[in-house]
A and B are shown apart, each in its own frame.
Chain A
Amino acid sequence: MSDQALSPAPRSAETSHPPLPETHFIRPPKKRGRRLFNSLQPWLFISPFIIIFCLFTLFPLTFSVYLSFQEWNPVTGLSGMNYVGVQNYVEAYDDPWLWKSLYNTFWLAIVSGVPQHLIAVPVAYLLVYAVRSSLRHVLTATMFIPFITSTVAVALIFYSIYSANTGILNQMLLGASKLPLIGALFAWVPDVMPIKWLTKSDLIKPAIAAVVIWKYTGFNIVIYSAGFVTVPQDVYDAAKVDGCNRLQQFWHVALPMIRPFIFFAMTLTIIGNLQLFEEPFILTSGDTGGVGQAGLTTSYYLYLVGWEWLEMGAAAAISWILFLIIAIATSIHFYFNGRKGMEGNR
C-alpha cells in the first residue's frame, strides 16, 4: 500500500500531498467545484439505482398503502379516488373468495412444496455419490431444464397433457390398465374415464401442484447437489468406521451437514409458493380460478380484483394481507429452523 502511495506519478497534481492514511480513499480536493463534484460522485454512480428505486419501489409501495384505504377504479383517473378508511380490509375479511383463495394458496404451497424437497434430497444424494461426475452434470442439467422454461409454456403443455378426452395422461392411464401385470393396479381407471383434471374442483389443485413440483424440483436438486458436494469424504469415512451403513450415513451425516442448503431452499419455496400465479392462471385458462374457484390462489384473486373487476383499492388491501401472511410464514420458518439452518451442524 505505502509503496504505491509513494511511487512517483508526475501526471497527477495530487502527488504533492503527503501520502494519506490508508483509510482515506478519496483524496482531499483542491478546488471548490472539485470538492462538490467529489462529494456528489458516489451519488452519481448509484443514481440509477436511486432513481429506479424511488420510482418503481419506494413511491409505489407507499402509495399502495394509501391506496388500500381508498376506493378506486383506475379507469376514472386519480380524481375518482374515494377515501373509505379500513373498509377494504373489512370487506376482505368478510370476503368468502379471499378465504377460499388463502386456503388454496396454503394447500398448494404445502402439497407442491413438500414433495419438491422429498424428491430433490435423495435424487441429489444419489447424483453425488452413485453417479460418475461427467454423467452427473448431464443428469443434473437435464433435471434443471424445467426451471429455465417459461411458466406459461410449461402450463400450456400441461394444459394439453391434462386434456380430459384426449390428453396423454388419461390415455396413458387407460393404457396402463390394459397392461398384463400392473394392469390390476389401474383397474379403476376405465370406470372413471374421462378424468377431468382441470375442470373438476377437487382435481384442479393436485393438477396444479404436479406442475409446480415438476418445474421446481430440478432447481432444488441443483442446490442440494451443491450441498452434498461440500461434505468432506472423511466425515463419511469416520461414520463408516463407526459402523454406519449407507442409509445411516445419509440420515445422520449427510442430512445434518446440508442443513443450511435445506433451510435456504425451503425459504425460497415458502416465499415463492405463497405467490403462485401463473400456473393456476394458465391451467384454469384465466377464468375466475376454475370450477368452484378451486384453483384460485390469492395472487390470482388479487389480479382478478384489480384488473378484471377494477377495484384497485381492494386489490391493494389484499396484496398487503398476502404480504403479511408471507412475512408471518417466513418468520415462523426462521424461528423454528433459522438457527440450525444458518449455522449448520459443524
Chain B
Amino acid sequence: MSTKSLSLSATATAKYGFLIVSVLITIFPFVWVAMMGSHTRAEIFSAPPPFYFGDDILNNYQRLLEIMPFWLVLWNSLTVATLGTIGAVFFCSLCAYGFFAFEFRGKNIVFGLMVASMMVPPVLMLIPFFLTVKFLGLLDTHFAIWFPGVANAFGIFLVRQYMVSSISKELLDAAKIDGCSHFRIFWSVVMPLIKPAMATVGIVMFIGLWNNFLSPLIVLSSPDKYVLTLALRSVQSFANTPWGAVMLGTFLSMLPLLIAFLFFSRQMMAGLTAGAVKG
C-alpha cells in the first residue's frame, strides 16, 4: 500500500522505526545472554561490559558442569516434558472422544465441571496440589510434575471442540456398523482426523512443562531430580555467582525451544494463542 511510493516520508520512517525498535528490544536480551555466556567473570564485570562474543565459552562450560549437573538436569526436563506431552496428547484425545461420541447421564455435569475448572487460577491450586502430592507420597518425583497434566481440562476441551467441528457422527455410525469397537473407532478413525488439535495440545504441553517452574519448586527437593528452571534458579544465589556459566546455562536451556520455534513458528504461535484460554 503506502510502501509503493518509495519516498521516505516522515510517517514511513516513524512506522518502520517503531517496528525496528520493537524488534531490537525483543531480541536484545537473547543476544546479550549468548554474549555473556562467552565471557569470563572479570570481563562481564568490567565497565563498559563487552558487547561482542568472547572466547571463554569452553571455560564457562566447565564451570557450568561444576555448579550443576547440566546434562542430567536437561535430561530431567526433557523426560518430564516428553512424558507429559505424550500422555496429554493421548489421554486428552481419549477423554474428548468420550465427551464427543457418547450421550450419557451426567455428561453435562461432568463437562460443565471441566469447563469450570479451567477458570480456577493456578495460584489457588498451589497448596492443594502440594497436599495431594504429599498424601500420595509423590514428593520429589518427576511423576508428580507431569502426571497431573495428562488429562487436563483445556486439552480435552480443545480436542473435543475440534472433533465437533470436523467429524460427523455419521462417520462414527458407519464405523460402528462395520463392527468397530469404540476404542477401535477412536484409534483408527478419529485419531488420524484430529491430528491438528493433537499437535496444538502437544505444543502447549511441551512448552508449558519445559518452562514450568512452580510445580518443580514445590515438589522437587533433591538436586539430581531438578529440572532446568529449578537448577538455574538455584545457582543464582551462589556467593560469587559465576555469571558467565549461569548465562551460558540459561542460553542453552532456551535453545531447544528457540530452535523448534525457528521451524514451527506458525504452529507454535497458533497453538499457544489457542492454548491461552488456559491462562
Which residues of A does B touch, CB under 8 Å?
1, 4-5, 7, 9, 11-12, 14-15, 25-27, 39, 41-46, 48-53, 55-61, 63-64, 67, 74, 119, 122-123, 126-127, 129-132, 137, 139-154, 156-161, 165-168, 171, 174-175, 214, 218-219, 222-223, 226, 268, 271-272, 274-275, 277-278, 282, 285-286, 299, 302-303, 306-307, 312, 315-316, 319-320, 322-323, 326
Contact = CB atoms under 8 A, between A and B. Distances in A.
A286 B129 contact: no
Given A45-B182, A275-B123, A226 B273 contact: yes
Contacts of B214: 277-278
A157 B272 contact: no
Given A139-B23, A303-B126, A48 B30 contact: no
Contact of B148 (A12, A52, A58, A127): A52
A160 B177 CA distance: 65
A206 to B, nearest CB: 16
10 contacts: A4-B177, A25-B172, A45-B182, A137-B265, A160-B44, A166-B49, A218-B26, A277-B214, A312-B131, A323-B120
B30 A60 contact: no
Nearest to B51: A168
A17 to B, nearest CB: 11
Given A57-B117, A145-B26, A161-B32, A219 B273 contact: yes
Given A126-B19, A158-B29, A277-B123, 6 more contacts: A52-B150, A56-B128, A61-B120, A122-B18, A168-B51, A275-B122
Nearest to A74: B134
A43 B111 CA distance: 12
B95 A46 contact: yes
Contact of A142 (B27, B114, B122, B266): B27
B104 interface: yes
Contacts of B132: 55-56, 59-60
Interface stretch (B52-60, B62-70, B193-201, B252-260): B252-260
B173 A1 contact: yes
B188 interface: no
B253 A153 contact: yes
Interface in B73-103: 91, 94-95, 97-99, 101-103
